[in-house]
A = this chain, B = another copy of it.
Amino acid sequence: MSKNLTSRAEDYSKWYNELVVKADLAENSAVRGCMVIKPYGYAIWEKMQAELDRMFKETGHQNAYFPLFVPKSLFEAEEKNAEGFAKECAVVTHYRLQNDPDNEGKLRVDPEAKLEEELIVRPTSEAIIWNTYRGWIQSYRDLPILINQWANVVRWEMRTRLFLRTAEFLWQEGHTAHATKAEALVEAEQMNNVYAEFAENFMAIPVIQGVKTESERFAGAVETYCIEALMQDGKALQAGTSHFLGQNFAKAFDVKFTNNEGKLDYVWATSWGVSTRLMGALIMTHSDDKGLVLPPNLAPSQVVIVPIYKNDEQFDAITEKAEGIIKDLKDLGVSCKFDKRTTHRPGAKFAQHELQGVPLRIAIGPKDIENNTIELARRDTLTKEIVQMGGLAHTIKDLLEVIQDELYNKALNYRDEHITKVDDFETFKKVLENKTGFISAHWDGTSESEQKIKELTKATIRCIPLDNELEEGVCVYSGEPSTQRVLFAKAY
């Protein structure tokens, strides 16, 4: 199945596309910009979902489900939000097909079945949800509302890439309603923290927490918190966002409540989301020229056993041993697959599991039966060693933790080495072209400078880090006074 991938050095973008397809993660579909998520890719997404869902519930959230469609009149109610998404909306205008009188066996849209009001396929659900919340909220006793939704959304992007930017994608969107501004701000910050913890501890992706500048904010938000990661090619990737929406949606949808002093006030809101884009971040943080490298926490199978045998007797002995290992690992909570397919040779199996990023591979041959050993190979380092059977399951469990940590630390070192403090615009451009990565530079706080820098270099302000120290300086572009450095980068 696996011819070699294009190397990352040769063409990073091509390497990525090939990896996604060859490792059976996803592929393009017959629908422009929409992807098919294949079973192996979906199994990784399910692992992410399960962990995020657990974290959301632990922080008091419940799941619910709201309609796919948003009537146009609701969609346009919050003007900034509507303006932000209007250019990429799939619109349902009809509700019936009929036989095409000019084309036997073909269908056409029934012109009689035109909707009175067009329906927008949700690009995000604030509008439909806040319209619903109006009916749920009368008093402070009805607050907070802490809801999350797992759903598909559609944004008609012109240039799409598997996982990173697709017309339809899967995501979760949290939508919360609060009695006070302070509580909503705490919620928005809390969920950004949840995303950071998830990225770092589960995906082994170091992230920088920050807030967006006005021009990079979510349409309709007062403040957008984000987690920003750095990919291997030196480009940044926004991995999750959490928005403090102020009272914008409450005002647009007239959602008022009686506060504990008996006065009417508009409700405060947050929304927050991560999507299948995380699959792209995962791939571009850890993988190598041989294919996917998966952190053990996200691997559908953490270990795979490949038997090497010449006859049935050998196969039976290996099978017995493999089944023992699988049982011991299961008892320790480690997932392990026995790849006993007869349609593939061991070499082809090795290549496939490498391509698909299984963290540990065990090979068992006749000699291992004799010597009470196995061969254990690490996907991340591509090293292998002969290991005695005694205590194997514990060895493996510990090793998986080591791999998880080492992947994180490797990515962290790379990221930290790629944050460059820059104080003049010539250096700014040079670093961006050569070293790449994040540039920490002073900015005068104006959209004009931000825009100019973007035009000249394609770099955007990824975020103003939350833990930023105030520091006097001058804007790297305009020379105007500045009070802090912000992080610039080219980004996905």
Contacts and interface: CB of A to CB of B under 8 A. Distances in A.
Contacts of A75: 97, 107
Interface string A128-155: 1001100100000100000100011010
A34 B96 contact: no
Given A91-B93, A95-B91, A107-B72, A65 B36 contact: yes
A70 B31 contact: yes
Given A68-B154, A132-B29, A168-B68, A91 B89 contact: no
A66 interface: yes
Interface residues of A, number: 64
A71 B30 CA distance: 8
A62 B88 contact: no
- How many copies altogether? 2
A334 to B, nearest CB: 18
Contact of A97 (B35, B42, B86): B86
Interface stretch (A115-123, A206-214, A410-418, A475-483): A115-123
A156 interface: yes
A63 interface: yes
Contact of A66 (B29, B93, B128): B29
A470 interface: no
A442 B74 CA distance: 54
A30 B63 contact: no
Given A36-B66, A67-B36, A128 B29 contact: yes
A109 B91 contact: yes
Nearest to A96: B87
Contacts of A119: 31, 90
A35 B93 contact: no
Interface of A: 27, 29-31, 34-39, 42-43, 46, 62-72, 74-76, 79, 82, 86-99, 105-107, 109, 118-121, 128, 131-132, 135, 141, 147, 151-152, 154, 156, 168, 170, 343
21 contacts: A27-B132, A31-B69, A36-B67, A37-B65, A39-B62, A39-B63, A42-B65, A72-B97, A72-B107, A76-B106, A76-B107, A89-B95, A90-B92, A90-B119, A91-B95, A91-B96, A91-B97, A92-B121, A93-B94, A109-B118, A141-B343
Contacts of A29: 66-67, 128, 132
Contacts of A343: 141
A106 B75 CA distance: 10
A131 B36 CA distance: 11
Nearest to A341: B141
A90 B98 contact: no
A86 B96 contact: yes
Given A70-B31, A71-B31, A107 B82 contact: yes
Contacts of A79: 105
